[in-house]
């Protein structure tokens, strides 16, 4: 089934819609036809698939003293992967690494194999198998089974000995192994946003069907998840996602536009430097554009079944409050901590338990030292990504995947210095406009992957053809 993103067929109309405020998006972009009202509404279509609003299972065995949780890790050499392994090393009495998948970083992977001794390993290219074998030759213990490619990653994800699968890879490449893990009954420690942003219409009902828990490993959704523990059904009123504001939070839009014309190198360098977090270039750039928060709005909708009307974003420069929920009685619950990605990763691995951590390597929050906490409303003219994200979410179906994939392709071009900073927004807008008449509301996994590939190709075609000049986004 296809449907349009908005009632306007013209590019100018969609551009105006996407430039509007969040409130405007709620009225003009949300419901151009009756079918659209619930197009992406997980709660109304599937029900909540979460442990988030229920009590933790009472029969969960305590970790330690010979009882370990067995983990498979997708993307072991990346940022999420290495932090996951740091946690496993520090708490080796509680976690066992059974299977690893990685790309081409064989030296790092070989060191991980020697340290953690997994039973199974998968790499991206079969031509590298012998090189990896040479690197781990003579290791203590048995050699792991070595697989490769997409099929190898699927086998790692659904290894029969595994309890939970940590998804630390980027993009739609994470969808097939996540589906395989869910179908095999593995709980998902979710660090791959695309799994829900693109695959939500497929993944959420699949998780419900197999009784699988999807546990968010990013700081904001982990904060929401922690705040929801034990919350009675129907008690959640509103989700409040906090955002650091990224690299340009104290730079005016006028200053940014001036830099785009006269000093584009400034925007390039600034966009890849985060004031609070130590992250990779892509996610740091997403923080600068606030695209990460737009994606997190969609992810929160699929995770918790919350209406887009009840998901808000607030700028919180200190990144101490990682997100909040408002309950039916107007209470607000917040999860707080120093900016440290290890904390949400650890909680996905240990849930429903809390693991005692060293104060040396895991500093405790000092309310005196941390100083003032401040908040401000995001500027949707400066950050059009937010309005585009709400519009994509309300469109539902394959539009959210197109939104995410177009952003990923655009950021890659920006980091490669092939487009300017504001062109990131323009290419995403163009992809959404082009996709509106091809939107699939109930996509299969094949539909989701096909639309992801289409969006990436469309962005690259737009840049190659020079059609960016036809779009007016800022």
Distance CA 95, CA 292 (A): 30
pTM of the model: 0.85
Alpha helices in 372-444 (DSSP H): 384-395, 399-415, 421-435
Average pLDDT value for residue range 269-274: 78
- Answer whether 186's CB lies under 8 Å from 307's CB: no
Residue closest to 344 by CA, chosen among 368, 317, 362: 362
Scan for tokens 């619930």, then name that residue: 38
Average pLDDT value for residue range 73-78: 96
Average pLDDT value for residue range 335-346: 92
Residues in the chain: 474
Angle at 86 between CA 80 and CA 87, to 5 degrees: 90
Q: Which range scores top for mean pLDDT: 43-52, 54-63, 118-127?
A: 118-127
What the chain holds in terms of domains, given with CATH numbers, is 1-38+395-474 (1.10.1740.10), 69-231+338-350 (3.40.50.720)
Average pLDDT value for residue range 380-385: 94
Q: Is 50 exceeded by the pLDDT of residue 82?
A: yes
Could you please report the per-residue DSSP string of 181-227?
HHHTT-EEEE--THHHHTTHHHHHHHHHHHT--EEE-SHHHHHHHHH
Q: Report the pLDDT value the prediction gives residue 234, as an integer from 0 to 100.
A: 86
CA distances from 111 to 29, 97, 105, 124, 430 (A): 50, 14, 10, 17, 44
46 compared with 159, residue with greater pLDDT: 159
Q: Report the pLDDT value the prediction gives residue 279, as an integer from 0 to 100.
A: 65
Distance from the first to the final alpha carbon of the chain: 32
Residue 249 CB-half CA count within 13 A: 24
pLDDT grade, residue 1 (50/70/90)? very low
With a pLDDT cut of 70, the percent of the chain lying above it is: 85
């Amino acid at each position: 089934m296809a449907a349009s993103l908005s009632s306007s067929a013209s590019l100018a109309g969609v551009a105006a819609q996407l430039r509007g405020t969040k409130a405007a998006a709620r009225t003009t972009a949300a419901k151009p036809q009756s079918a659209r009202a619930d197009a992406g509404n997980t709660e109304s279509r599937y029900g909540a698939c979460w442990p988030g609003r229920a009590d933790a299972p009472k029969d969960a065995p305590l970790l330690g003293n010979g009882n370990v949780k067995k983990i498979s890790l997708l993307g072991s050499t990346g940022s999420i992967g290495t932090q996951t392994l740091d946690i496993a090393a520090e708490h080796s009495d509680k976690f066992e690494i059974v299977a690893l998948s990685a790309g081409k970083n064989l030296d790092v992977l070989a060191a991980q194999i020697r340290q953690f001794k997994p039973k199974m390993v998968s790499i991206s290219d079969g031509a590298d198998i012998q090189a990896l074998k040479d690197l781990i030759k003579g290791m203590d213990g048995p050699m792991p089974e070595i697989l490769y490619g997409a099929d190898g990653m699927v086998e790692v994800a659904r290894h029969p000995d595994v309890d939970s699968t940590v998804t630390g890879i980027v993009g739609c490449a994470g969808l097939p192994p996540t589906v395989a893990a869910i179908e095999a009954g593995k709980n998902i420690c979710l660090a791959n946003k695309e799994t829900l942003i693109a695959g939500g219409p497929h993944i959420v009902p699949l998780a419900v069907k197999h009784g699988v828990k999807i546990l968010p490993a990013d700081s904001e959704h982990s904060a929401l998840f922690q705040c929801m523990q034990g919350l009675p059904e129907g008690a959640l009123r509103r989700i409040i996602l906090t955002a650091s504001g990224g690299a340009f939070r104290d730079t005016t839009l006028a200053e940014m536009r001036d830099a785009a014309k006269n000093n584009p190198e400034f925007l390039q360098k600034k966009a890849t430097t985060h004031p609070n977090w130590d992250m990779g270039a892509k996610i740091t750039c997403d923080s600068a554009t606030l695209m990460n928060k737009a994606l997190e709005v969609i992810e929160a909708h699929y995770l918790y079944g919350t209406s887009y009307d009840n998901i808000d974003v607030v700028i919180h420069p200190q990144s101490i409050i990682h997100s909040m929920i408002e309950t039916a009685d107007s209470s607000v619950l917040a999860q707080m901590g120093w900016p440290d990605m290890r904390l949400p990763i650890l909680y996905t691995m240990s849930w429903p338990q809390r693991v005692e951590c060293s104060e040396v390597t895991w500093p405790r929050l000092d309310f005196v030292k941390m100083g003032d906490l401040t908040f401000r409303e995001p500027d949707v003219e400066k950050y059009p990504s937010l309005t585009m994200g709400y519009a994509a979410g309300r469109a539902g179906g394959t539009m959210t995947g197109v939104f995410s994939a177009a952003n990923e392709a655009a950021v890659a071009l920006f980091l490669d210095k092939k487009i300017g900073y504001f062109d990131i927004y323009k290419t995403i807008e163009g992809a959404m406009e082009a996709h509106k008449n091809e939107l699939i509301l109930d996509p299969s996994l094949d539909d989701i992957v096909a639309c992801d590939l289409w969006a990436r190709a469309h962005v690259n075609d737009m840049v190659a053809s020079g059609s960016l000049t036809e779009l007016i986004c800022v």
